[in-house]
Structures are given as C-alpha cells and as structure tokens.
Amino acid sequence: MTSVHKSASPEPYPPLVHETPAMEAAVTALIDRVFGPGRFAKSSERLREGNTLLADCSFVSLRGGAPVGCVRMWPVTIGGEPVAFLGPLAVDPEERSAGLGQALVEAACEAAKAAGWRAVLLVGDGPYFGRVGFSNAHTAGLVMPGPVDQRRVLLLPLREGGDLGLSGPVAVDPQA
C-alpha cells in the first residue's frame, strides 16, 4: 500500500492510506473499540446507515497491518445541497497525542476538496476541529436527523463561500 499523506518530517504515527473494502471489518472493529455500542444512538449514525462510503476521502493508518486510526467521509445533503460528512474519526488510545487524529482529518478534507466538495460537515468538539478550520459560524439553520448539541455541528468550507447559504435538513444524499 502506498502512503497518501506526505509530510516534510517523519510522522510519529504510521502513514495514511485510503480505506479499501478489504479493511472494512478491521476498521469497524477499531471504531467499536474506541466508541463502544453507544455510537449507534448518535444522530450522526443516521447519516451513515445505508449510505455509501466516500472511499477516495476516507483514510486509515495501519500499524503491523492493523488499523490504529481511521476517518470516514459520506455524501450527505443540507437542504438538498451536497456536502461531505466526516465521521467517525477514531484513533486507538495508545496512538493518541501524536497528531494522528488531526492528520487523518486534514487528509480527508484535502481529498474532499480535490474531489470537488463545497464543504465538510461534522458533529464534534469545536476547539479540536477548529484547529483544522471547522466552525459553527454558519450552522444555525442545519437540522440533524435526531437530537444533537447544535454548538457541535461544524462546517469547513472547501472553497470560497462553501459554507454559506446552507440550511435545512441534513440527510443521506439520494444521488449517492
């Protein structure tokens, strides 16, 4: 497998590669370990159920052939407008504090931009994801498919104005 995330200096974590269908079971096991069964109750999970993974925007970090970090992207719409939905982001507890989570998010967002997405949506911690440029400045009109702390609904524009004018229900993209 070829590393797709490049850096000027060696990272303290394994290289990032695109997620492949062959990795699905191992990646799901990592996500289950990190989040536990409570993840299925989150409204974000409604946007992943029955959806199609954006493999070109989803990344895994492997150590010894096993995933130690992953980030997934999904096609969704906000009021009918297509955007990429990031999540889950999962990093094995033994691999945290080395920058792997941020590297995964940056790689996924760079890939989404290259693929032509206007913005990336996620539900997460503002201070953590704010380091990559996410904010809730333009998310007041977004309606998630279930209960959510609206302050945690964040957008990252991938082009000028990519986060403007988005409002309405967030749903699985029917075109995907």
Predicted pLDDT of residue 38: 63
> Which CATH fold would you assign to the domain 16-172?
Aminopeptidase (3.40.630)
Predicted pLDDT of residue 8: 39
- Indicate the domain borders of the chain: 16-172
d(CA 145, CA 58): 22
Condensed to tens digits (0 to 9), the pLDDT of residues 87-126 reads: 999 999 888 877 899 999 999 999 999 999 999 999 999 9
Q: Tell me what the pLDDT averaged over the chain comes to.
A: 88
d(CA 25, CA 61): 15
d(CA 108, CA 102): 10
Is pLDDT at 3 greater than 70 in this prediction?
A: no
d(CA 60, CA 70): 4
Condensed to tens digits (0 to 9), the pLDDT of residues 60-97 reads: 999 888 999 999 999 999 999 999 999 999 999 888 87
d(CA 87, CA 120): 10
Residue scoring higher pLDDT (40 or 85): 85
Q: Which whole number is the average pLDDT over 3-8?
A: 44
d(CA 37, CA 25): 16
